[in-house]
Amino acid sequence: MSLSVVIKTPTVSYEQPLGLYIDGKWAAGVEQKTFETINPANECIIASVYIDIAVKAARKALNGIWAQTAPSQRGRLLTKLADLFEEDLETLSAIESLDNGKAISLSRGDVQAAADVLRYYGGWADKLHGKVIDTDPETLNYTRHEPIGVCGQIIPWNFPLLMWSWKIGPALATGNTVVLKTAEQTPLSGLYAANLCHKAGIPAGVVNIVSGVGGVAGAALAAHMDVDKIAFTGSTLIGRKIMRAAADSNLKKVTLELGGKSPNIVFNDATIDLAISWVNFGIFFNQGQCCCAGSRIYVQSGVYDQFVEAFKARVGRNIVGDPFADNTFQGPQVSRLQYDRIMGYIRSGNEEGATLEIGGQRQGTEGFYIQPTVFSNVKPEMTIMREEIFGPVCVICKFETEEEVVRLSNDSVYGLAAAVHTRDLNTAIRVSNALSAGTVWVNNYNMLTAQVPFGGCKESGIGRELGKYALSNYTHVKSVRIRVGGALF
């Protein structure tokens, strides 16, 4: 069976590696099982990929070559990988659009952001160190920030390559080795990037990329007795299973980046045109398939009517269509399953009595396209108000006071992100402080960069990714106490 295939996209032709990248080599799954990945724009089968697990290779590299690699060299390798991402930006972007369905202009942004993250963590690799702690004249105490070990990493399909970089960057910078499982809907870019790891010179076994369905390959990673840490991004439902599997196996360390139902608040004094742009971007970016999507929009009564009319006009201008067209903003949803789920939520909004302001239908007849959809007159107990839809669907609600909107915003099991639109600095600070969220954007939305941590409160997760904060999720602190004096007793 061939382990690669030539794929032609509207922008590039390239050789797509298939199989499992383990110990620096390409292999087929032990059971020779394959599954198909579907192009969401036309529902065609793209390629077959294989399933397996690579923990042994990661362990061997951890104790062998990687332990012998100087921190500055780890940094150089990550920086080199970032350079290779940039060199192959067009190919990687085409793969993302092909496999995920996202607009090509946004795929390019994702690939650049992934390169930025790898370079950022490359910079950290030789700047991590412990402390000397003074206790008494007869002891020298110091701490070492050591790698946790073999890290299992499970990523979702909404930002395949960006999530790959968020996981691999901090893990490698701190000296860990990884077995990363891509999402079954979008395995292609992660496999292509495995070849770039090879080209960058990252030693065999340090990065192992496996494709596989969640309930098999993902579950096996989470339950594995020789995996020291599991980092997961995905749904809250599966996050619970990961934590359970960790508890039931070897109590591996767990970090989770899960779902959200994030409030986006517009006060009377906001600059309305700007607020509309950011609110639109907040929910419809990436087809609404963002864990931090601003899906609950709260608008203060003084500008509510004006906002709703102007917002609908703005939403109506969003270009939904072919991911490879340069002016497309919104492509298809990733899969039939997601498409059906989202259409189910739209049906429930209609049935539970919300007002459909715009959208609500399939767009076209081929591909999983859904019109950007806005509901108003939504009650707090309605399904579309409480559950994460993960699609281009939002609710818009009127509020009177700051105290009321803070209460409504925090009335959710989730706490990933939130936003405030106001020109009043005091309002911005007061409300940001009062919101239960890992990130609060003021007068913007969805802005994520390598340096600033991201993660959730409540049922949105455990731990922070990005920034210096992510490094502590990939190290454990060892205390070394050296006795300088003699015997005590």
Q: Which residues are catalytic?
A: 257
Verify binding: residue 241, ligand ADP, rule CB under 6 A.
yes
Among the candidate windows 66-74, 95-103, 212-220, 348-356, which touches ligand ADP by CB under 6 A? 212-220
Shortest spacing between CB 462 and ligand ADP, in angstroms: 15
Among the candidate windows 164-172, 214-222, 324-332, 430-438, which touches ligand ADP by CB under 6 A? 214-222
Cβ neighbourhood burial of 217 (10 Å; 0-12, 13-18, 19+): buried
- Whole-number Cα distances in Å, 412 to 71, 261, 286, 456, 458: 42, 7, 23, 13, 9
Quote the tokens at residue 58.
């990661």
Q: How far apart are CA 53 and CA 434, in angstroms?
A: 44
Question: For residues 219 and 428, which CB has a smaller minimum distance to ligand ADP in the complex?
Answer: 219
Residue 269 contacts residue 301 (beta carbons within 8 Å):
no
Q: Which of 235, 348, 363, 443 binds ligand ADP (CB under 6 A)?
A: 235
Verify binding: residue 234, ligand ADP, rule CB under 6 A.
yes
Among the candidate windows 58-66, 98-106, 208-216, 437-445, which touches ligand ADP by CB under 6 A? 208-216
Shortest spacing between CB 173 and ligand ADP, in angstroms: 23
Give the pairing of strands 139-147 and 25-27: unpaired
Q: Which of 113, 238, 342, 431 binds ligand ADP (CB under 6 A)?
A: 238
DSSP symbol at 286: G
- Whole-number Cα distances in Å, 463 to 18, 160, 325: 32, 20, 37
Question: For residues 205 and 234, which CB has a smaller minimum distance to ligand ADP in the complex?
Answer: 234
Q: Which of 40, 122, 169, 214 binds ligand ADP (CB under 6 A)?
A: 214
Question: For residues 167 and 421, which CB has a smaller minimum distance to ligand ADP in the complex?
Answer: 167
Give the pairing of strands 132-133 and 139-147: antiparallel
Question: For residues 14 and 159, which CB has a smaller minimum distance to ligand ADP in the complex?
Answer: 159
Verify binding: residue 450, ligand ADP, rule CB under 6 A.
no
Shortest spacing between CB 487 and ligand ADP, in angstroms: 52
DSSP symbol at 156: -
Residue 151 contacts residue 173 (beta carbons within 8 Å):
no
Among the candidate windows 101-109, 218-226, 361-369, 399-407, which touches ligand ADP by CB under 6 A? 218-226
Please list every residue from 167 through 206 that binds ligand ADP, using CB under 6 A. 181, 183-184
Q: Which of 81, 154, 393, 419 binds ligand ADP (CB under 6 A)?
A: 154
Is residue 15 classed as helix, strand or coil in its secondary structure? strand
Q: How far apart are CA 439 and CA 445, in angstroms?
A: 10
Cβ neighbourhood burial of 440 (10 Å; 0-12, 13-18, 19+): buried
Rounded to the nearest 5 degrees, what angle is found at the Cα of 260, between the Cα atoms of 409 and 307?
50
Shortest spacing between CB 235 and ligand ADP, in angstroms: 3
DSSP lists the bridge partners of residue 179 as 152, 208
From the list 427, 428, 450, 460, the residue with the least C-alpha distance to 441 is 428
Shortest spacing between CB 181 and ligand ADP, in angstroms: 6
Residue 296 backbone dihedrals phi, psi, to 5 degrees? -110, 110
Verify binding: residue 342, ligand ADP, rule CB under 6 A.
no
Q: Which residue is nearest to ligand ADP (CB)?
A: 214
Verify binding: residue 102, ligand ADP, rule CB under 6 A.
no
Quote the tokens at residue 476.
């454990």
Shortest spacing between CB 158 and ligand ADP, in angstroms: 7
Among the candidate windows 27-35, 80-88, 215-223, 440-448, which touches ligand ADP by CB under 6 A? 215-223
Question: For residues 233 and 427, which CB has a smaller minimum distance to ligand ADP in the complex?
Answer: 233
Residue 171 contacts residue 142 (beta carbons within 8 Å):
no
Shortest spacing between CB 336 and ligand ADP, in angstroms: 12
Question: For residues 35 and 469, which CB has a smaller minimum distance to ligand ADP in the complex?
Answer: 35
Shortest spacing between CB 281 and ligand ADP, in angstroms: 21
Quote the tokens at residue 25.
């080599």
Q: How far apart are CA 238 and CA 220, in angstroms?
A: 13
Footprint of ligand ADP on this chain (CB under 6 A)? Answer: 154-156, 181, 183-184, 213-215, 218-219, 222, 234-235, 238, 241-242
